[in-house]
Structure 1
Amino acid sequence: MKHRGILFSVIFIGCIFLLYMYPVWFPQVSSDPSNKNEIRREPPATSWNYEPIATDGFAKWIGQKLADFETVYGNPEEVYSSGFSFVIHRYTIDDQTYVEVNTEDKRITSIKFLGKENDTIAPFRFGMTMNELAKITMIYPNFTLNYEGKTIAFELMEDDMNYRPLIAFDNGTFAILFFSQKKGESSLYSVMYLDKETLLKLAPYQVTDGVSPRFTTEETADWEVINQNKQEQSKYLFQFLRNYDRLPEFILDAKNQMLGEQILGGFFAKTEEFLTTERTQQLKRIQNGTEDGRFTLSRTEMEDVLKEFSTDTANVYLELPVYDPMFTILTWYSTPYLHTRFMHQEPESLGIAFSKENVVVLLQQLENKTEDSDAN
């Protein structure tokens, strides 16, 4: 009996061991054929911090004088104030390239590049997949940075790691890589190089420790001019992306633009009529900087706003804070449900309204539209 008891115990313990080790020895493989070329990356449960890679491409220009950059790339086509601490310079290299450079005190703080020229974005290349990126560097989910004597930590969520991974360089700069939402395997279509302060102020990822610094408005900012410039540049970039996806351009209708401006102004004039008390308080916390993150309208809230303005053929999207329009639009383009919303196959009428850090995008169906448009 004693030997039988020992034998039973050995067999029982062996079975338990096999049960728990089976998933490790024989991991499950997805049977979905659409997943065979692309690995979905979920943030691992780890506190490992990032490791930088060698500085290359446009990362070398971050922190350098704008005058030196322009000796290589020429003068900008347009320059306008952001209304905050930086100035935006737009360059035209060719009809397939869109470049914006942000500066503070005439030094480069970020470069946003959308196009097909690969030499300037080495070691990356446009069209590369996430699997190809993984051969260059590990995709890190956790970043801990020191800023003005304080520690700030943030984490990349699953969508961030798959569509907007963050890469660090050994000169202290960073790059956000934007991957497309086309069918099949996603591919790299844009890169934003930026310094640590700009990264923390844009706050594209979820902060897990500390408080992110914020952009402050300039006392002498002419917001009427700034809002108009941002509206025009945003329309230009949306059209560029439509052409990039080989889709028909948006119709730029003056009436739709005016409606977008009315919606933006009307929402903030009577916020309590569209939001619950809890949501109103959340909006105020984000506005005054006591809560990180972005505020957007839910589907129900959007429907209520559109009813107020007697339109049921439109799609409205409101977000704040938006400091850098190009960064925000690239983020929308690489976000699955927003890409679907802004990149319909059918042509639509587009209106974009800015009010400081607040933006509304209004897409209007064309069934009831007239031929009266002011497309540029």
Structure 2
Amino acid sequence: MKTILRTIPIFLVLMLLTYFVPQIISDSPSEIVTQKKNVPKLKKEAKTNSIPAVKQEVFPLEGIGQYVGETIDLLEKKQGRPLRIETTSYGYEWWIYGDNEKDYFQVGVSKQGKVISMFVLGSILDVSPFKVGMDIAEVYQLTPLYPTFSIEYENKDYTIELSENDLNYHPLVIFEKNVFSILMVDRETNKINAIRYVDEQTLLQSDIYEVFPQNEGITKKEPATELEDEKGKIKEVEVTLNALRKRYNLPELTYNKELSSIAKDIFINQEKMAIEQSSEEVKKRESSLAEGSIKMDISNENKFVQDNFEEEVGLPPLKSEEIQDYLKLNKLTLLDNRVVYSNQFTNSTWLITYWFSLENQRTILADPLMERFGIAFRGEEVMLILNRQEEPSIK
């Protein structure tokens, strides 16, 4: 009996530790979610355990997907002129059709006037054999979903590998004429939120899935941000985000310039901190060199650091702690603000639907209490801030 009594306090302590330790060691608040792309080392490890590709069922091109690979003449003949045309930083244009949850879609048009990609969000659009709003269980009844694909492109063989998360929330399906569709599945409902069609070159260059062999004829398209209209990207975010919120009976969000300014300031603050750190290192080097009777013009050295730091050294991805510290410093509470950050930006529509396939990101984007949003871009990085009630202000 005494032994049992002695073990009870120990048991209680262990139970308390089990509950509280995860709370203590968690360094990322649920109101701030950061997402970072895989590093090359992880991709090399994946190659070692790659799964042999198998031959997949090929679907006939039907519905709206039949425009991929064709010239814009057929598109214009059937769909008319777009509501607007947005330039992108990847060398093609987005032709925008529709403006709501039912009829919205975008068409990627190359410089040669060829349709290379389509993003379909509208729930009434024909995306046969699938449907926007279809449950993933119904997809399994139509076709198996495969973890690997073999592609022959420009006389070279490539293998595309999907992770378990890819298979569950953005599986890949192949159509005739080497057109592929990516089904964007909602994390909570397990239903298709949107479908993206791509040709084989766009798929290989997109950096969405693992591609092997790497760096052999296929290079990822790098963004040239000066070519892209930021207003266009913001509009795409607004339409896509609000369409999905409306689909789930949530209030629409209003774009807020001040929130966008705060997001930009967080990027700028990181740059300033990095420059200051580099300047301190320069001063230390100058001090060490002075001891050896070697003189150096520190003012010119500091200028060189400031002018060349970001483009030559590069900035690391933002951490949730950095974002949280900035918000606290400027008296912005996480009670009224939510932040989602990613350093893997393909395009606005893809990113929003991708975030809806991730648990933490979806929780923030589908928060019914949020009323406004702001967004900022920096190269391949993007930061989205959602806000409720009181206007955000930096004091």
Q: What TM-score does the superposition give when structure 2 sets the normalisation length?
A: 0.69
Q: CA deviation at 1:114?
A: 0.9
Matched, 1:177 2:180: no
CA RMSD of aligned residues (A): 3.1
Alpha-carbon distance change, 180 to 251 in structure 1, aligned in 2, over 3 angstroms:
same
Alpha-carbon distance change, 110 to 323 in structure 1, aligned in 2, over 3 angstroms:
same
Matches within 5 A, 1:140-219: 140-183=146-189, 186-207=190-211, 209-211=213-215, 213-217=219-223
Q: What are the Cα deviations for residues 212-243 of structure 1, in whole angstroms up to 9, with x where unaligned?
A: 52114459x445xx122212221222122211
* In structure 2, C-alpha distance between the alignment counterparts of 1:222 and 1:45, rounded to whole Å: 37
Matches within 5 A, 1:1-376: 46-57=51-62, 58-92=64-98, 96-104=102-110, 105-117=112-124, 120-183=126-189, 186-207=190-211, 209-211=213-215, 213-217=219-223, 221-223=226-228, 226-271=229-274, 297-307=318-328, 309-313=330-334, 314-366=337-389, 368-369=390-391
Alpha-carbon distance change, 49 to 299 in structure 1, aligned in 2, over 3 angstroms:
farther
Q: Of the two structures, which has the highest relative contact order with CA contacts closer than 8 Å and spacing of 6 or more?
A: 2
How many matched pairs?
Answer: 305
Q: CA deviation at 1:117?
A: 2.0
Higher helix share: 2
Q: CA deviation at 1:77?
A: 0.6
Q: Which amino acid aligns with 2:68?
A: I
CA contact (8 A) 2:147 2:162 kept: yes
Can you give the 5+ residue segments of structure 2 that lack an aligned partner in the other structure? 1-48, 278-310
Alpha-carbon distance change, 174 to 116 in structure 1, aligned in 2, over 3 angstroms:
same
State the SS of the aligned residue for 2:76: helix
Q: CA deviation at 1:370?
A: 7.5
Alpha-carbon distance change, 301 to 201 in structure 1, aligned in 2, over 3 angstroms:
farther
Alpha-carbon distance change, 245 to 49 in structure 1, aligned in 2, over 3 angstroms:
same
Q: What are the Cα deviations for residues 227-280 of structure 1, in whole angstroms up to 9, with x where unaligned?
A: 222122212221222112110112332321221222233334445889xxxxxx
Q: CA deviation at 1:316?
A: 2.3
Q: What TM-score does the superposition give when structure 1 sets the normalisation length?
A: 0.72
Q: What are the Cα deviations for residues 279-322 of structure 1, in whole angstroms up to 9, with x where unaligned?
A: xxxxxxxx99xxxxxx8644334324434554233332222342
Calculate percent identity across the aligned residue pairs. 22
* In structure 1, C-alpha distance between the alignment counterparts of 2:262 and 2:353, rounded to whole Å: 24
* Comparing 138-147 and 98-107, the one that deviates more: 138-147
Alpha-carbon distance change, 155 to 306 in structure 1, aligned in 2, over 3 angstroms:
farther
Q: CA deviation at 1:354?
A: 2.1
* In structure 1, C-alpha distance between the alignment counterparts of 2:326 and 2:156, rounded to whole Å: 41
Alpha-carbon distance change, 217 to 180 in structure 1, aligned in 2, over 3 angstroms:
closer
CA contact (8 A) 2:89 2:227 kept: yes
Can you give the 5+ residue segments of structure 1 that lack an aligned partner in the other structure? 1-43, 275-286, 289-294, 372-376
CA contact (8 A) 1:50 1:140 kept: no
